[in-house]
Amino acid sequence: MTTQTAIQKRAAMVPHQVRALAMLLTSTSPAPIRTTVRIAGGAVRDMLLGVQPKDWDLATTLLPEVVMEVLKHLAVVLDTHVFQE
């Protein structure tokens, strides 16, 4: 398997909800600050092993208060440990 194929396979494992949240958080940062959002934790391990992750952790350069404000505006149900749809 080529490197490109392996990357595409792993990228396909990321649910659209996780992608959408990452895109929203990235677009939330005030200019000219550049925000990054990365998949973290057990999801990274699972993806490297070729296993579909059961939960998703995201790490961001945004302050926690900013993330919480974004989620409040979306009226997203937030369990303090697991983001649920």
For 10-69, write each residue's pLDDT tens digit.
888 999 888 888 888 888 766 666 788 999 999 999 999 989 999 999 999 888 888 888
Name the band, by pLDDT with cuts 50, 70 and 90, for residue 5: confident
| Domains identified in the chain and CATH numbers | 3-74 (3.30.460.10)
Cα dihedral across residues 71, 65, 53, 47: positive or negative: positive
Q: Are 35 and 29 in contact (CB under 8 A)?
A: yes
pTM for the full predicted model: 0.70
